[in-house]
Amino acid sequence: MLDEPLPNTRRLPLRFMWQMDHEGRFSLASDEFTRLIGARTAAGFGRLWSDIAAAFGLDPDGRVMQAFATHNTWSGITLNWPVDGGGRLPVELSGLPMCRSRAEFCRPTGGFGVCRDLDGLSRACRVAPL
């Protein structure tokens, strides 16, 4: 049928969760996104954001750490995320500090990312099927 998508063709944006601790160690919390970017690229995470950003050329202006330092909710930081086998996907990150009480300093931050590049996602799916 003509309306059926091709195999491994995305029809919806990909959303994923992430976390960063008070030291700036960034980790992904999404099996789907981890599989999509590939094992080699995913292995580069779980360490300081500054190291990740430098290794992948991910955030040359330091926007994520600037947002993290405010201890406020933030959104709209788009980064070109690396994918195994070459290429990059535009991913928009948003973050939310997590606190137990208003008096407590907000340390760990969590958030989500979204990739709306359906063509890019489909290409990555063909390389690393979900």
In a domain, 79, yes or no: yes
Cβ count within 10 A of residue 57: 11
Q: Which domain holds residue 41?
A: 22-113
Find the helix or strand (DSSP H, E) in which 15 lies. Answer: strand 14-20
What is the per-residue pLDDT across 48-65, written as a single tens digit (0 to 9) for each? Answer: 999 999 999 999 999 999
How many structural domains comprise the chain? 1
Tokens of 43: 């292995």
Going 39 to 45 to 51 to 54, the CA torsion angle's sign is positive
What is the per-residue pLDDT across 51-104, written as a single tens digit (0 to 9) for each? Answer: 999 999 999 999 999 998 888 889 999 999 999 988 899 999 999 887 655 555
Residue pair 87/124 in contact by the 8 Å Cβ criterion: yes
Q: Is pLDDT of 2 > 50? A: no
DSSP 43: T
Q: Is pLDDT of 1 > 70? A: no
In a domain, 5, yes or no: no
pTM of the model: 0.81
In a domain, 54, yes or no: yes
In a domain, 69, yes or no: yes
CA–chain centroid gap for 3, Å, is 31
In a domain, 12, yes or no: no
In a domain, 1, yes or no: no
Q: Is pLDDT of 105 > 70? A: no
CATH classification at residue 47: 3.30.450.20
